Structure 1
């Protein structure tokens, strides 16, 4: 086993495995095992004179790979008892320590030795021992306190760790190399009775990354809990929780996986929702693992031990992605409240748990045989794709649970479109930080997620590209291949190249791929190796029969910078208005790989729309005549075009207009049909498109005047929904989501009717009890009215309300900053409609139009000037 560990160490620490930010990490000492004993104390009310600390005794089993006489460890804000520091050989009492220094500023504990450590040979190892005290506060990093109130409003505190990225040194002195993996043994002392003065907080709950093995009650009434030795994990995967929480749990009837939800006792009644939701996710993965498999050999637990979901009453920003059995998140992401949870908060709650359990299913340190991912960014993207896949079945599938028949898996559609445009909003050359996905190589996922831009690209873009490929090769074959691969690779290593090779073998299509030489892996790699995405310019040569359609792909950019020819492998599909005598419209699928491509099709003077089902990760810009045909169809019969393609057209119009490649008049002409639109997907597309108008230095040359024109235009399109800004009546998820998105858009375009209704709603509810789905919008209106007074804590908001208040304030501030930067702009000339017979408007004139007197034309100019002045007067800055 030791030799296997050594082999793993050298493999993990090879030069290829490290990134630039790991230079200087200590590789001469390797920690094999941490044995930690913690005695925590929470004394009094910490925020009112009390204090919290824990005493820790620790032994670290290490091996050396060189003759060294200095050991350097990471430690920060820890009170180390110097006389306790020892370095010993097994079964030896003699310490090798000569002296030590602790540099708090550098966060380094340096131990100088009397004699050198011997390199690892014949199982030679050493023990590094020490004792220390760690004071814990509400705002301390890594390990911190969370204050909450029990049912009778007594202050209580939680000790909680969140050790990624790079925060373990605040918890214990350690060797904080992100690639080191060790096992951990933990012993915790609890004082369930409290002290005689009731100053020591009663605690009954201690949760670690492994299960209890033994409990012992000491003569002084302290309870000692011994935990089993953990799997081999990184420091960022260690978690420790200490509180008075209670729990509810459920066990999957198929795989024996247990989900336990922890919260303050009086809040457990509201935890059934997330418990049942988690169980349904496990059932989905059980069924998904068995797609078209008659054998039950894949019915296996995804972890060894329970999955603990812990509701922390503070803002945490999501689950820690490395966690597999101690899943901590903000309370509002775990505890469902019918009174306070808005539909968008519920959606985020659902997605975050689905994504986290997808990560766990794909591989975790606690599974029976550990599955390792060479490219963790790819695992992140696949987990996001599977989370949306589950949510699609949960919200749109037949019945509440999935089926083991692959043909029953409903395609993403709504969620696929959503994740694609989240990625596209970031994935263009507006920053030097933009990287191709493959550049992340084998970088740790915790590092990727430390930057919000990278996190969005890695999760949403990778998932979007998988959705594109799924639609290209067919959903049935894609899912069968994916499940077969994951099942066969359990307990081994998964690499991107290996996955793509398997996908090629399982999904080969002689017609589409073999003859063209293009397969799934080539398509994916063309996107993984390049940042950004293309826009396809479509020119239809209608004078030819059949019509010649020219495609030109260029790198998309809102600002025009780095916009150049590109050569992505793009799966092309399309639909046409008139199918009579068409060439390929019943099998309109092929792949282009060059900057330009030409094909023929009989359009019969109708429109063509590329990117059927909107799954392709690209935008499309048509020639003006084709755009006008699409605009006419949308205006006269919008539902001839499917929901996803309408949404894609709308989003592309905004993007192409903002980039400067479409006139405002044409963009508004295409979008003029929106007063007939009834689709949530399309209105979400409008909302994300409107946000594009705020992109700085975009090619459209945005001004305040132009921005206000867009606001008035979209406000007019929303008139049929003005009633939605009143307290909502719908209870279904779809209705609530639709209504909340319409309200969000109405507020963004400063719809006056909606704003007035929201303000009245806010005042009528006396600043409390605002309808959850209207809450963020109402707070926006309230903040606009009251400004600074609204930022105070006088309103006594709870966490659900505070999240929406912060969202509203951030949006208002961002909008203000955007408007401050915009130039005022010049009004556009008003459209002049000349009468068909100008003689009729010049009464008393008997001659021809050609000989009208100059006074008539002066009068016309006067009317024009008057109209422009009226436009200026009407504009509200």
Structure 2
């Protein structure tokens, strides 16, 4: 029946958009078009409000409908009518009932609606109401003050699911799509009422004309067929700046207060470069969207862009303005990533396309847009002028993988495929980042496996051939195999990219591969066994289809280490000539898994890291450092071995390795982790990392290098040095703030957040004076970190002092000529002190001896 309704809707709408193929929805009345006439009153004093008249064209989706149920919240409903042609069929004795508590408007009819599939009849619901607008950005429509030659205000909307009802009465099903036709009145200058000259909706302006009392009426063309969360409205006295793409008519327009327009140049130039990269990547002279992309800077705390929107976007003001003396390098990275990700979403499919492209699985679209955002960001940061010389995402790939892995281990985390047909706006907030980063990480793993050029050619070819059609995960994987599987690009055991993707999308979490090298035979046998990784419970068997790549220390007679092409399911054993050296899995760290080696192999790796760490590429060093912290936190690796491997860090100069080490150190704070951390052990780890980070801190703390990579590295090192209570760092930041307070110099924006953290530790009342938007963001982040640290320290037990304090390892790495049988065995899970294998008996004897001596 729904297909008949969809066909009928195509005939009555004024657009050429087509309907999503879905099962019959559980509404008896279906909206076809919303016509909104809005008269906003922005008051200088008192509450602002708007009057509105909405006409909803609907059809009956079931027989004998005599009650129409709409969603409406915090609205002052004045009149309601329902027209069939020109005849009002509302029940005059009981016209409507409005339940403000549950947010429902019930309309009662004196005659039943006729089912559209039989009668082809449509009805018009006419509702007039008014709405008081406040500054709460979580209520759908809100008002925000800004300074531009005095205090002014703007109206703006954020109609994510369950928020449109605060804007106007509607059928708030996120899968319902309809045409929207706006008419907006611009109120003239009057006493107590603010004049506004900027009105933006989701459609292009058609006409404007003056009426009595100098009102200006703006008529907009009917929008394309969209869902409620894709609707937008903005009303202010903003000005704008704009840029256009090189080869298409795509235009980005940023709106903001006139006195701040110069601060939008950075984001405009960045947006132009990303648009040009996308067009070059697509290899098709096709605009991203029909009409301009309007971006509104809102002076309130907003959480990124609206996921489903394409031509009217809002974001917090400091995510669009770039002021060198206030914008930190982290904030700059955040604003560029968000815009790159949103432009990728728009390119992958939006309602404003000439031929609309739809995705069955929007979680998959979110992952692809995240991956592409990092891809374009990598080219932008490296100054690449043409994608013919593309650079793999490498560093960004490892960052997104570490973010995903830090969240993806818990037993309650769902598999990606469970989101199935879930709309992107319906993904729970707690899983949003995980879905984006994990999907992107799995794509990065596949890209590294089949080759970057092949992967990107297959991806862009697929997107281009699906314009105006549906994109599904299954269809994508089929085409990926078709474009990439060759004799040289198929796994030894017959697996393909689609089989690997299917394996990872259908299982939650990720695995750890235990590597055991049998060195008592020639060639050596390498045993691989996977388990599902978790911080809080015993390993469990898992069945991920894992692409294996590896490198060896001594590759003179290596069988297949240059491009090994096989996958493992549960266990796998292969032969390799290691010649007494180590083997390292997961070349370039692109695989979405962790690796734990036998003790002897770990000691060989530790020896190489200590003596010649540059012989191992930085991505693999970074991954191993993060894995060591994770394995220790999970109780899989003992403390002394972890310290021996990490001992080389005071020689490490790579930003990506230190970034991985910093995120890895946070893993030992995982609630309930099997390492059984206590306050004494945590203090020992802090002191150990103090010794490791101190040389790097001393080297870069006073540098003035302003390259983005250097700024970010310096920011991370200073933040971590203070996190582990490195005293020179703490003193320096306190001194910097004292100098700032006494007007001697400005506070470095890159270390501002860390400075706030240091001050909060000693003064809980810090931060009550005025801050700008950039400082407020860092202040809130600092407060959050301090609360999390206090909660962690409160929850862990005191423990008891460890006699053998945690110091830099002095254990000699094994000589490759001597092998012990126990070195080839898997590390055992320790019983005490978070996995630290303690030499208990000698310590007890030493303690007794000390007590006896004291008694004498």
Normalised TM-score (structure 1)? 0.89
- Once residues 859 and 379 of structure 1 are traced to their aligned partners in structure 2, the CA distance between those partners, rounded to angstroms, is 59
Q: Is the 8 A contact 1:146 1:314 kept in 2?
A: no
What residue number does 2:634 align with? 659
Aligned with 1:63: secondary structure? strand
Deviation of 1:347 after TM superposition, in Å, equals: 0.3
Task: Describe the superposition over 1:250-289 as per-residue Cα deviations: whole angstroms up to 9, x where unpaired.
Answer: 1213110111010000000010111111111110110000
One of 191, 206, 209 as aligned partner of 1:216: 209
Q: Is the 8 A contact 1:725 1:774 kept in 2?
A: no
What residue number does 1:244 align with? 237
In structure 2, do the counterparts of structure 1 residues 512 and 302 end up closer, same or farther at CA, with 3 Å as the change threshold? closer
1:167 correspondence with 2:145 = no
In structure 2, do the counterparts of structure 1 residues 140 and 473 end up closer, same or farther at CA, with 3 Å as the change threshold? closer
One of 458, 464, 475 as aligned partner of 2:435: 458
Deviation of 1:300 after TM superposition, in Å, equals: 1.0
What residue number does 1:819 align with? 793
In structure 2, do the counterparts of structure 1 residues 717 and 125 end up closer, same or farther at CA, with 3 Å as the change threshold? same
- Once residues 224 and 119 of structure 2 are traced to their aligned partners in structure 1, the CA distance between those partners, rounded to angstroms, is 24
Aligned with 1:73: secondary structure? strand
In structure 2, do the counterparts of structure 1 residues 858 and 387 end up closer, same or farther at CA, with 3 Å as the change threshold? closer
In structure 2, do the counterparts of structure 1 residues 832 and 616 end up closer, same or farther at CA, with 3 Å as the change threshold? closer
In structure 2, do the counterparts of structure 1 residues 815 and 865 end up closer, same or farther at CA, with 3 Å as the change threshold? farther
What residue number does 1:38 align with? 38
What residue number does 2:409 align with? 428
Q: Is the 8 A contact 2:491 2:565 kept in 1?
A: no
What residue number does 2:837 align with? none
What residue number does 1:875 align with? none
In structure 2, do the counterparts of structure 1 residues 9 and 410 end up closer, same or farther at CA, with 3 Å as the change threshold? closer
What residue number does 2:67 align with? 70
What residue number does 2:418 align with? 439
In structure 2, do the counterparts of structure 1 residues 733 and 33 end up closer, same or farther at CA, with 3 Å as the change threshold? same
Q: Is the 8 A contact 2:684 2:806 kept in 1?
A: no
- Once residues 315 and 402 of structure 1 are traced to their aligned partners in structure 2, the CA distance between those partners, rounded to angstroms, is 36
Aligned with 1:652: secondary structure? helix
Q: Is the 8 A contact 1:643 1:682 kept in 2?
A: yes
Q: Is the 8 A contact 2:492 2:566 kept in 1?
A: no
Q: Which runs of 5+ in 1 are unaligned?
A: 16-24, 291-297, 834-856, 870-877
- Once residues 202 and 535 of structure 2 are traced to their aligned partners in structure 1, the CA distance between those partners, rounded to angstroms, is 46
- Once residues 468 and 868 of structure 1 are traced to their aligned partners in structure 2, the CA distance between those partners, rounded to angstroms, is 61
One of 682, 687, 702 as aligned partner of 1:712: 687
1:203 correspondence with 2:177 = no
Deviation of 1:13 after TM superposition, in Å, equals: 4.5
What residue number does 2:657 align with? 682
What residue number does 1:359 align with? 345
> Which deviates more, 1-10 or 691-700?
1-10
Aligned with 2:36: secondary structure? strand
Q: Is the 8 A contact 1:204 1:244 kept in 2?
A: yes
> Which deviates more, 616-625 or 808-817?
808-817
Deviation of 1:764 after TM superposition, in Å, equals: 1.3
Deviation of 1:721 after TM superposition, in Å, equals: 2.7
- Once residues 671 and 849 of structure 2 are traced to their aligned partners in structure 1, the CA distance between those partners, rounded to angstroms, is 33
1:556 correspondence with 2:547 = no
Deviation of 1:149 after TM superposition, in Å, equals: 3.6
One of 238, 243, 267 as aligned partner of 2:260: 267
In structure 2, do the counterparts of structure 1 residues 824 and 215 end up closer, same or farther at CA, with 3 Å as the change threshold? same
One of 189, 193, 207 as aligned partner of 1:194: 189
Deviation of 1:830 after TM superposition, in Å, equals: 2.5
- Once residues 220 and 343 of structure 2 are traced to their aligned partners in structure 1, the CA distance between those partners, rounded to angstroms, is 24
What residue number does 1:323 align with? 309
One of 449, 455, 462 as aligned partner of 1:472: 449
Deviation of 1:5 after TM superposition, in Å, equals: 4.9
In structure 2, do the counterparts of structure 1 residues 765 and 171 end up closer, same or farther at CA, with 3 Å as the change threshold? same
Normalised TM-score (structure 2)? 0.91
What residue number does 1:748 align with? 723
Deviation of 1:155 after TM superposition, in Å, equals: 1.8
- Once residues 620 and 33 of structure 2 are traced to their aligned partners in structure 1, the CA distance between those partners, rounded to angstroms, is 56
- Once residues 795 and 305 of structure 2 are traced to their aligned partners in structure 1, the CA distance between those partners, rounded to angstroms, is 36
> Which deviates more, 250-259 or 682-691?
250-259
One of 357, 371, 376 as aligned partner of 1:390: 376
Aligned with 1:773: secondary structure? coil
Aligned with 1:271: secondary structure? helix
Aligned with 1:790: secondary structure? coil
One of 283, 289, 298 as aligned partner of 1:303: 289
- Once residues 263 and 824 of structure 1 are traced to their aligned partners in structure 2, the CA distance between those partners, rounded to angstroms, is 53
Deviation of 1:150 after TM superposition, in Å, equals: 2.2
1:587-626 equivalences under 5 Å are: 587-593=563-569, 595-626=570-601
Deviation of 1:717 after TM superposition, in Å, equals: 0.8
In structure 2, do the counterparts of structure 1 residues 578 and 673 end up closer, same or farther at CA, with 3 Å as the change threshold? same
Q: Is the 8 A contact 1:508 1:514 kept in 2?
A: no
One of 402, 427, 444 as aligned partner of 2:386: 402
1:456-855 equivalences under 5 Å are: 456-513=433-490, 516-561=493-538, 563-593=539-569, 595-723=570-698, 726=701, 729-766=704-741, 769-787=746-764, 789-792=765-768, 794=769, 796-830=770-804
- Once residues 309 and 429 of structure 1 are traced to their aligned partners in structure 2, the CA distance between those partners, rounded to angstroms, is 37
Q: Is the 8 A contact 2:625 2:646 kept in 1?
A: yes
- Once residues 868 and 819 of structure 1 are traced to their aligned partners in structure 2, the CA distance between those partners, rounded to angstroms, is 36
Deviation of 1:725 after TM superposition, in Å, equals: 7.7
- Once residues 526 and 698 of structure 1 are traced to their aligned partners in structure 2, the CA distance between those partners, rounded to angstroms, is 27
- Once residues 790 and 605 of structure 1 are traced to their aligned partners in structure 2, the CA distance between those partners, rounded to angstroms, is 58
1:414 correspondence with 2:395 = yes
In structure 2, do the counterparts of structure 1 residues 689 and 318 end up closer, same or farther at CA, with 3 Å as the change threshold? same
What residue number does 1:4 align with? 7
What residue number does 2:136 align with? 139
Deviation of 1:461 after TM superposition, in Å, equals: 0.3
- Once residues 654 and 81 of structure 2 are traced to their aligned partners in structure 1, the CA distance between those partners, rounded to angstroms, is 68
- Once residues 669 and 852 of structure 2 are traced to their aligned partners in structure 1, the CA distance between those partners, rounded to angstroms, is 29
What residue number does 2:839 align with? none
In structure 2, do the counterparts of structure 1 residues 163 and 32 end up closer, same or farther at CA, with 3 Å as the change threshold? same
> Which deviates more, 132-141 or 385-394?
132-141
1:83-102 equivalences under 5 Å are: 84-92=79-87, 95=90, 98-102=94-98
- Once residues 700 and 729 of structure 1 are traced to their aligned partners in structure 2, the CA distance between those partners, rounded to angstroms, is 40
1:90-129 equivalences under 5 Å are: 90-92=85-87, 95=90, 98-120=94-116, 121=118, 123-129=120-126
- Once residues 426 and 805 of structure 2 are traced to their aligned partners in structure 1, the CA distance between those partners, rounded to angstroms, is 55
Deviation of 1:865 after TM superposition, in Å, equals: 3.5
In structure 2, do the counterparts of structure 1 residues 173 and 774 end up closer, same or farther at CA, with 3 Å as the change threshold? same
In structure 2, do the counterparts of structure 1 residues 861 and 141 end up closer, same or farther at CA, with 3 Å as the change threshold? closer
What residue number does 2:821 align with? none
- Once residues 306 and 57 of structure 2 are traced to their aligned partners in structure 1, the CA distance between those partners, rounded to angstroms, is 27
Q: Is the 8 A contact 1:727 1:771 kept in 2?
A: no
- Once residues 291 and 23 of structure 2 are traced to their aligned partners in structure 1, the CA distance between those partners, rounded to angstroms, is 33
Aligned with 2:715: secondary structure? helix
Deviation of 1:133 after TM superposition, in Å, equals: 0.5
Task: Describe the superposition over 1:772-826 as per-residue Cα deviations: whole angstroms up to 9, x where unpaired.
Answer: 0010011111111211x2142x2x1101001111111111111011101111112
Deviation of 1:243 after TM superposition, in Å, equals: 0.8
